[in-house]
Structures are given as C-alpha cells and as structure tokens.
Chain A
C-alpha cells in the first residue's frame, strides 16, 4: 500500500509539469501586454521597453518558463500587476473560502446523492424510485445560479430566516452549499442507483442473505461496498467541477472566493493572478484525483497497480 501511494505520487510529477506548462503558455498566448498593463496607457515606448526588460519578457520562452518554475517551487507566483501584492497572498484566503464552499457542496451532494441513490435502487420500479429519479432530473437540469436565486427569494426574502449573502457563519453556509450540491447530488444519485442495481442481483449478495445477514446490512454492507467503487470516481470528478464552477454560486451569494477573484483578474488583465489561480486549481484537481485513486485501491481489493 505504501509503495502504491509512493508510485502514484511519482506519477503526479509529469502531470504537474504539464499543468504548469499549459498555465504558463496560455498566459503567454492570450493577447494583451503585461508591461502595458503595469505601466499604464500613457507610458512611452522607452518606459515599456524598460519595463519588459525588468520583467524578463524579452528572454526566450524556455528561460521564462524555467524562472516561472523556479519561483513556483518556492511558492512564489509573482506579484499582481495591479496592486503589486504577492499573488500567493491574494489567492490563499480566497482559495480557502472556495475549498470550504466546495466541501460543503460535496457534503450535500454526497449525502443526498447516496441516500436517494440507494433508496431508488432498493425500491426499484416503485413510486419512490420514479419520484427520486424525476427529482434527480430536475436537480440536474436546473441552472445552479437560478436555484440560488430561488433559495434567496424563499428563505431570505419571504421567510427571512437566512442571510442573502456573505460567508463565515453557519447560516451563510446553508444556501450556497445547497446551490452547489444539488446538481452533484443528482449525478451521484443516478450513478449510485445504477451501480447498486448492478450489484444487488450478484451471487455474493444472495450468499449474504443465505448467511442470515439482515436485509439492511445486505444492502449497506455487502451491496453498497461494491457499488461504491464507480461512484467514487464520480464524486472525485464532481469535486473538480465544484472548484471550477464555484464562481456562479460565489457571485449569487456575494462570497469572496477564488472564482470571483479570477473573473475580476481576467477583466482587469491581471495575468499573474489568473495564472496563479489556474495553477492552484489544477494542482488541487490533480490531488483530488490522486485521493480517488487511493480510495479505489482501498475499496477494490482486486486492483493491483503495483
């Protein structure tokens, strides 16, 4: 198991190289001039040239990339061209908020999704199953910003029980978490249902019944442990979507997360911030996938990747 984890970690290295390279190149390739942004519209050609020289923009790309990587391993993502603050300092608090938001969204998505998925499978082709799956389609089809607005309308304006915006107190967590988690819950519920249906008729489930295992344990232990394996992949992917899709929820509830930061940075052409955010998100995504791989291995003894 330790060897397995070590191997997976080593395999991350080329992936991370690729991620940084793409993030680096995207910023190089988009139109717009960092020097121009920093120096302002009124700057003379001489000032611009000086600026470029100082920033190292005249060096060959490969040299710039090397410098970029060197800084990166020191956790230095450069400075904002707007404010001059280190990008790391700008991103870090925002990133934590977005991760919190995504995690709360996951709590909703996983708990609701698994519960209804199992319910649907154990009562297959009954009214409960049809009801749940209809809800899932609704949840999946509803744009989450609209759901967020509806929630604000009901709970904040009509009932006045929850705050409309902000982040920090538990009351402020509820609606954004539901907004984020609903679509994920629908995907997880559907995946869980079909996965459960695949295993519920397996011989080993019948064996468990024949041993005298209670029906509840047959479903939640013997069937679910096997059904969970494909569901874990979906959960991992959902977390990635949550991180990158947080911007909508953040905007609806005025949460100062990473998503809003990126949107602002893009409109201000604050390239180092955009780049930094892209890298941080990409690394997080890669890391989540790594965790999914480990979870796979723990759940499914037949996988032997050593």
Chain B
C-alpha cells in the first residue's frame, strides 16, 4: 500500500450534492470525505439510495440538472476540480480521471463503431490525427483482452456481448492513462464468470499503470476482491471507513455488520439469509439523529436524538483495531455500558 506521505490522487472533503426538486432540496450526498492514493483501490459500498453513485458522478462533475454540488472540495492531485471552469474541467474528464458505468449494454453509442468511440477520446485529449487515434483504439482493445482487435474495432456495439462491451468501456476510460478510474458497479449487469474477468482486468491494468481506482458497488464480494480501503455509505453519509482487512475482521457500525450478515455464504448452512429490516430513509424525511437508528437493533434515545460524527472509535473497541473510523454512538465515550454488538453472533 502507498505511504501516507504522498498527496492523494483524489481527496474529497465535505462533499455535498443536492437535488432541487419541486418539493424542496434533497440532500443526496451530505458531507462525504475520503481519499485515494495512486495504485490503491478505494471501495465505496452501500445499498441503493445511499448516495454512492451520486458521489462518483459528482467527482466527474456529471451531475445533471436539477442536481448540484453545493459544498465541499474535490481535489485531484492537489487541484480543486470544483474551482475549474467547464472548459478547463473538460480537458481533465476522460483524460486525467475517467469513469466506467454499470450498464455496458446501453453505455456505448449504438450508431458509432466501438473503435471510433475509443478513438474519439484519444483524439480529444491526445490531439492525435484520425489514423493514429484509430491505431491507438485498436491497441486499447488489445490491451483489454479483446481478440482480433483490428476487426472488432469496426464493429458496432450491438454486435458485441455485454462482457465485451464492458471491456470496450474500460478501453475508452483508460485510453488516456488516467490518474483515477471510477468504476460505478462495473460488474453488476454481467454474469458471474464475466464479473470475475472484468475485476481481474481492472486490477491487472491498475498494476501496469499505477492509477487510483474508486470502486463503487453494493457487493461486499467485489470489495473483498478488489479494494484496499473501504468507505461504507448510508443515507448520503459515510458511516464507516477502514482498510479492507480491518473492515472484514471487525465491522464496527451496526449497518456494516448487517451488510456482512446479509452475504450469502457457501461454507455455512443457512436456511434463511439475514437481512436488515426496513429501508433507507428518504431524503425528504431524514431523521435528525443517527440516520440508521430506526433500523438499528441497538438504538437508544441518544441515537434518535443526536447525530453522531464520523470518528475514530474511543470506546468499546479492541486496541488492535482502531485504524478505521465509524459514525456510531456505541464507540464514543457518551455510550455508557458495554458494546451491545459484542457477542452477537455474526456469521463472519
């Protein structure tokens, strides 16, 4: 893992993104901090509506009306991206930072060949002529493991399978050697064997280029496979962050524990999967206390009344695992009594 001294490739501080609907402001992302170093993968995990995709789109400045980034800073190698003009930022997007999306089937333009779609990015950022850009596109297809790249480059997206198309998306994203790759659920729409191949490919390409990767997913399996550090998001906030080993060894936040318990396992016989009761609160009626309180089995009056901060645990935790941070009253000094999550059987 990279040393802590270097400037992170991406550092997000206090990011707030809201949608201005006729019913008022909806805070989809509400004060999120994280950072990723080069050659490092940060996993952002959370269920639908947790704000993880909006976070990644905010970093790319792809939030569309009526959404707006209303606060915080996003720094790419020390440069504040939110201070760039649209024209300045367009030079970075797809060049220094790029993104792949969840839906490979619909993410490529159906009326252009895949080669021309890769070449377009190359031409924009590397200022190559048409022929050189096409050659670069073919090279990229080869790099992402597409057989017969010269021929495939001339194909239209509908002529390729989902896995192939996601490889093409990766080729587009990596064609300009970005410092940061954002992968928003890159494998969710693919079947399981293809999923593993795509994750393997991203890892391999990261090793070659040393880029930082932001892996957005709802799947803890993907996190375990790819991430070095993990951020758990819930209702627009970070509720826990830790390096991946710590997180899996000792998940602190009751929500993280719930997620872990909900993973289907093949080594333990279970009749029924654990689940977290209830749903994510809608941004329109966000609780003023802990946002997870109404679904949390350990919630007390304190949790409902006061909003906890993301902090290094100072209570109810082993000395050995204090590398992470969590947003839960249990691990603060205000919590009197033992850790209620201790001794509760988790199937980890």
For residue B213, give the distance in angstroms from its CB to the closest CB of chain A: 15
Q: A225 vs B107: C-alpha distance in the bound complex, in angstroms?
A: 15
The closest CB in chain A to the CB of B106 belongs to A203
Which of B94, B156, B158, B169 lies in contact with A212, CB distance below 8 A?
A: B94
Which of A209, A211, A213, A301 lies in contact with B110, CB distance below 8 A?
A: A301
For residue B86, give the distance in angstroms from its CB to the closest CB of chain A: 8
B99: chain A residues at CB < 8 Å are 210
Q: Is the CB of A302 within 8 A of B158?
A: yes
Binary flags per residue of B110-130, CB closer than 8 Å to A gives 1, else 0: 111000000011001100000
Q: Is the CB of A222 within 8 A of B109?
A: yes
B124: chain A residues at CB < 8 Å are 211-213
Q: Is the CB of B106 within 8 A of A209?
A: no
B321 part of interface (Cβ distance < 8 Å): no
B111: chain A residues at CB < 8 Å are 225-226, 299-301
Q: Is the CB of A207 within 8 A of B91?
A: no
The closest CB in chain A to the CB of B99 belongs to A210
Q: Which of A19-35 contact B (CB under 8 A)?
A: none
For residue A165, give the distance in angstroms from its CB to the closest CB of chain B: 45
Binary flags per residue of A192-234, CB closer than 8 Å to B gives 1, else 0: 0000000001111111111111110000001001100000000
Q: A136 vs B90: C-alpha distance in the bound complex, in angstroms?
A: 35
B13 part of interface (Cβ distance < 8 Å): no
B93: chain A residues at CB < 8 Å are 209-212
Q: Is the CB of B94 within 8 A of A226?
A: no
Q: A209 vs B91: C-alpha distance in the bound complex, in angstroms?
A: 11
Q: Is the CB of A206 within 8 A of B109?
A: no
The closest CB in chain B to the CB of A207 belongs to B107
Q: Is the CB of B94 within 8 A of A211?
A: yes
For residue B89, give the distance in angstroms from its CB to the closest CB of chain A: 9
Q: Is the CB of A212 within 8 A of B109?
A: no
The closest CB in chain A to the CB of B158 belongs to A302
User: How many residue pairs between the two chains, A and B, have CB atoms under 8 Å in the bound complex?
Assistant: 71
B108 part of interface (Cβ distance < 8 Å): yes
B292 part of interface (Cβ distance < 8 Å): no
Q: Is the CB of A211 within 8 A of B62?
A: no
The closest CB in chain B to the CB of A299 belongs to B111
B91: chain A residues at CB < 8 Å are 212
Q: Is the CB of A204 within 8 A of B108?
A: yes
Q: A202 vs B108: C-alpha distance in the bound complex, in angstroms?
A: 10
For residue B297, give the distance in angstroms from its CB to the closest CB of chain A: 39
Q: Is the CB of B95 within 8 A of A212?
A: yes
Q: Is the CB of B110 within 8 A of A226?
A: yes
B206 part of interface (Cβ distance < 8 Å): no
Q: A38 vs B200: C-alpha distance in the bound complex, in angstroms?
A: 87
Which of B101, B110, B125 lies in contact with A206, CB distance below 8 A?
A: B101
Range, interface on chain A: 20 to 34
Binary flags per residue of A264-297, CB closer than 8 Å to B gives 1, else 0: 0000000000000000000000000000000000
Q: Which of B97-155 contact A (CB under 8 A)?
A: 98-99, 101, 103, 106-112, 120-121, 124-125
For residue A216, give the distance in angstroms from its CB to the closest CB of chain B: 11
The closest CB in chain A to the CB of B109 belongs to A204
Which of A211, A213, A299, A301 lies in contact with B98, CB distance below 8 A?
A: A211
A211: chain B residues at CB < 8 Å are 93-94, 98, 120-121, 124, 172
Q: Is the CB of B121 within 8 A of A204?
A: no
For residue B67, give the distance in angstroms from its CB to the closest CB of chain A: 13
Q: A207 vs B322: C-alpha distance in the bound complex, in angstroms?
A: 40
Q: A300 vs B111: C-alpha distance in the bound complex, in angstroms?
A: 6
For residue A225, give the distance in angstroms from its CB to the closest CB of chain B: 5
Q: A102 vs B86: C-alpha distance in the bound complex, in angstroms?
A: 43
From known contacts A209-B62, A213-B120, infer whether A302 and B90 are also in contact, taking CB-CB under 8 Å: no
For residue B180, give the distance in angstroms from its CB to the closest CB of chain A: 12
Q: Is the CB of A210 within 8 A of B62?
A: yes
For residue B134, give the distance in angstroms from its CB to the closest CB of chain A: 16
From known contacts A203-B103, A207-B101, A207-B172, infer whether A212 and B110 are also in contact, taking CB-CB under 8 Å: no
Q: A204 vs B105: C-alpha distance in the bound complex, in angstroms?
A: 9
Q: A83 vs B60: C-alpha distance in the bound complex, in angstroms?
A: 75
B112: chain A residues at CB < 8 Å are 225
B60: chain A residues at CB < 8 Å are 210
A300: chain B residues at CB < 8 Å are 110-111
B172: chain A residues at CB < 8 Å are 207, 211
The closest CB in chain A to the CB of B103 belongs to A203
The closest CB in chain B to the CB of A222 belongs to B109
B109: chain A residues at CB < 8 Å are 204-205, 207-208, 222, 225-226
Q: A206 vs B121: C-alpha distance in the bound complex, in angstroms?
A: 13
B335 part of interface (Cβ distance < 8 Å): no
B248: chain A residues at CB < 8 Å are none
Binary flags per residue of B259-278, CB closer than 8 Å to A gives 1, else 0: 00000000000000000000
B98: chain A residues at CB < 8 Å are 210-211
Q: A201 vs B62: C-alpha distance in the bound complex, in angstroms?
A: 12
Most buried by A among B91, B99, B103, B111: B111
B34 part of interface (Cβ distance < 8 Å): no
The closest CB in chain B to the CB of A205 belongs to B109
For residue A103, give the distance in angstroms from its CB to the closest CB of chain B: 27
A202: chain B residues at CB < 8 Å are 106
A214: chain B residues at CB < 8 Å are 90
B92 part of interface (Cβ distance < 8 Å): yes
Q: A206 vs B109: C-alpha distance in the bound complex, in angstroms?
A: 10
Q: Is the CB of A203 within 8 A of B107?
A: yes
A201-B64, A203-B103, A226-B111 are known contacts; what are 7 more A-B pairs with Cβ within 8 Å? A203-B101, A208-B109, A210-B101, A212-B90, A212-B121, A213-B94, A213-B124
19 CB < 8 A contacts A-B: A201-B64, A202-B106, A203-B106, A208-B109, A208-B120, A209-B93, A210-B93, A211-B94, A212-B91, A212-B94, A212-B95, A213-B94, A215-B86, A225-B111, A226-B109, A226-B111, A300-B111, A301-B111, A302-B156
The 6 nearest A-B residue pairs measured at CB: A212-B94, A211-B94, A204-B109, A203-B106, A212-B93, A211-B121
Give residues in A with beta carbon < 8 Å to B: 201-215, 222, 225-226, 299-302
